[in-house]
């Protein structure tokens, strides 16, 4: 009989290989491997490992010596795959065996950038929606037609299979893992030490919630901040233009130039994000979430929430609270 009171497995192992993504590995070490005395013993233990424990050649003419061999994967609760070869070359039998055994024993597999190519080669992503860096998306589809590739998101969480987009999106994924394991306050502390926003997105299908403007525009920035602070208000195109001291035509052009979205599209995504945050708090009913996020009705909230995150508001709240428990 399983031990239902068993402590969660907070051992994290990063898989090293020749051609390793230096940045991808470094962010995993930064998030999970640094000493954090402010958290006491209630934190992760972190180990780097490679086949036969041999040093690997990483990008940027760097050589990294791992702490352990592949046996470390068997003890890990989370395995980080910091990139992988994108030419379809299969991993060695030893790596295949170690990953499959660890996963079958419950290890959570998290990939950064091209790391999903390893999971795809093992058949672990078959039938799932995954993400990767946009420049690898078409190659991933061609090599592994049995998976669905969504290049327009930062990361996707299927519970024991998590994938992230380009390198920096890996930080978002790793903070998401911290948030699931230890809650938002702990994730916020880690993000603060990284000098970055603690939560750029959320949910099952992860969409960028706050696109970074391509061109600085103080009037537009002030408008974006105002809408985010008060999403429940009646933000029509006309009101948004007046708030930004622009004509409607100019404002629409500025949105497209800076964010790659129309004002209406951005407003819906902002309200979805506001709803998501309310749902994660867990103490607000669906009707009130709809009002506070600006959708007005539960039916409208469900429509937009499901379109963008692939799950109903109620189910999202239930899954999030269950994962955070």
Answer whether residue 123 shows pLDDT above 80: yes
Closest by Cα among 52, 50, 80 to 66: 50
Cα–Cα dist 1/153, whole Å = 40
Which one of 182, 207, 232 terminates a domain?
Answer: 207
Asked if the structure places residue 2 within a domain, the reply is no
Q: Confidence class of residue 212 from pLDDT cuts 50, 70 and 90?
A: very low
Q: Are residues 45 and 147 in the same domain?
A: yes
Asked if the structure places residue 1 within a domain, the reply is no
Q: Are residues 227 and 259 in the same domain?
A: yes
Q: Confidence class of residue 43 from pLDDT cuts 50, 70 and 90?
A: very high
> Alpha-carbon dihedral of residues 297, 300, 302, 307, nearest 10 degrees?
-160
Q: Confidence class of residue 282 from pLDDT cuts 50, 70 and 90?
A: confident
Q: Name the CA radius of gyration of the chain, rounded.
A: 21
Asked if the structure places residue 6 within a domain, the reply is no
Q: Are residues 173 and 219 in the same domain?
A: no
Q: Are residues 229 and 325 in the same domain?
A: yes
**Tens digit of each residue's pLDDT (9 = 90 or more) over 60-103:** 899 999 999 999 999 999 999 999 999 888 899 999 999 999 99
Q: Are residues 123 and 222 in the same domain?
A: no
Residue 57 domain boundaries: 11-207
Asked if the structure places residue 304 within a domain, the reply is yes
Closest by Cα among 238, 233, 236 to 291: 233
Q: Are residues 157 and 296 in the same domain?
A: no
Asked if the structure places residue 317 within a domain, the reply is yes
CATH code of 238's domain: 1.10.10.60
Helix 263-281 with 218-229: angle, nearest 10 deg = 40
Cα 233 → chain centroid? 29
φ and ψ at residue 284, rounded to 5 degrees:
-115, 135
Which one of 180, 207, 234 terminates a domain?
Answer: 207
Q: Are residues 194 and 285 in the same domain?
A: no
Determine contact, residues 81/120, Cβ cutoff 8 Å.
no
Which one of 157, 172, 207 terminates a domain?
Answer: 207
Q: How far is CA 158 from CA 18, 32, 113, 128, 191, in A?
A: 28, 21, 16, 8, 23
**Tens digit of each residue's pLDDT (9 = 90 or more) over 148-167:** 998 878 889 999 999 998 87
Can you tell me the mean pLDDT for 128-145? 91
Closest by Cα among 167, 169, 131 to 150: 131
Asked if the structure places residue 181 within a domain, the reply is yes
Q: Are residues 161 and 251 in the same domain?
A: no
CATH code of 126's domain: 3.40.50.880
Asked if the structure places residue 5 within a domain, the reply is no
Determine contact, residues 204/309, Cβ cutoff 8 Å.
yes
Number of domains forming the structure of the chain: 2
């Amino acid at each position: 009989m399983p031990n239902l009171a068993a402590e969660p497995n907070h051992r994290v192992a990063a898989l090293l290989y020749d051609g390793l993504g230096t940045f991808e590995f470094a962010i995993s070490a930064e998030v999970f491997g640094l000493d954090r005395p402010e958290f006491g013993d209630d934190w992760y233990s972190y180990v780097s490992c490679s086949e036969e424990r041999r040093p690997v050649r990483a990008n940027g003419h760097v050589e990294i010596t791992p702490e352990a061999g592949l046996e470390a994967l068997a003890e890990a609760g989370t395995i980080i795959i910091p990139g992988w070869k994108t030419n379809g070359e299969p991993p060695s039998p030893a790596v295949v065996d170690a990953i499959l055994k660890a996963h079958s024993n419950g290890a959570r597999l998290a990939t950064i950038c091209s790391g999903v190519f390893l999971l795809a080669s093992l058949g672990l992503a078959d039938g799932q929606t995954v993400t990767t860096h946009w420049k690898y998306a078409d190659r991933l589809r061609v090599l592994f037609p049995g998976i669905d590739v969504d290049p327009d998101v930062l990361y996707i969480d299927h519970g024991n299979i998590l994938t992230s987009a380009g390198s920096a999106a890996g930080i978002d994924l790793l903070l998401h893992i911290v948030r699931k394991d230890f809650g938002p306050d702990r994730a916020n502390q880690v993000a603060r030490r990284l000098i970055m926003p603690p939560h750029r997105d959320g949910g099952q299908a992860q969409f960028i919630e706050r696109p970074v403007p391509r061109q600085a525009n103080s009037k537009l920035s002030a408008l974006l901040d105002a809408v985010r602070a008060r999403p429940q208000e009646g933000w029509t195109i006309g009101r948004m233009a007046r708030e930004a001291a622009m004509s409607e035509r100019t404002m629409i052009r500025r949105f497209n130039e800076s964010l790659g979205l129309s004002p209406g599209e951005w407003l819906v995504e902002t309200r979805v994000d506001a709803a998501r945050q309310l749902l994660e708090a867990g103490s607000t009913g669906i009707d009130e979430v709809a009002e506070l996020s600006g959708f007005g009705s539960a039916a409208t909230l469900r429509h937009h929430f499901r379109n963008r995150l692939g799950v109903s508001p109620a189910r999202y709240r239930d899954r999030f609270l269950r994962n955070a428990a």
